[in-house]
Amino acid sequence: MEAIINQLISSLNKLPKVLKVSVLINAPKRLTFTVYSNFLCEKDYRTLFEAALDLVIDAEWALCDLTKSEDWHFMTEHYNI
């Protein structure tokens, strides 16, 4: 499980113009991934956020499949600073 989350963090950090990624554990199996980027226009902001959402959703489903549990809930936030 930890490997999937670490891979997700690594993948998010590799997205273009990402400055930092943080993870908040809200409760067991409930995580919020926050992506910080810098000086993106509206189009680039949306493209980056869509890519981040795709990665987060794929990781959440992978954990659901691995643990045979639908109790995983990931949220994504994106701040353009």
6-49 pLDDT, tens digit per residue, is: 999 999 999 999 999 999 999 999 999 999 998 789 899 899 99
Taking domain 2-80, whether its CATH number is 1.20.120 is answered by no
Can you tell me the distance from the alpha carbon of 30 to that of 5, in angstroms, rounded to the nearest whole number?
12
Q: What is the CA radius of gyration of the chain?
A: 13
**Domain locations in the chain?**
2-80
Confidence (pLDDT) at 1: 87
Can you tell me the distance from the alpha carbon of 13 to that of 49, in angstroms, rounded to the nearest whole number?
12
Q: Is 37 in contact with 78 (CB distance < 8 Å)?
A: yes
pTM of the model: 0.91
Q: Is 48 in contact with 36 (CB distance < 8 Å)?
A: no
Can you tell me the distance from the alpha carbon of 10 to that of 21, in angstroms, rounded to the nearest whole number?
9
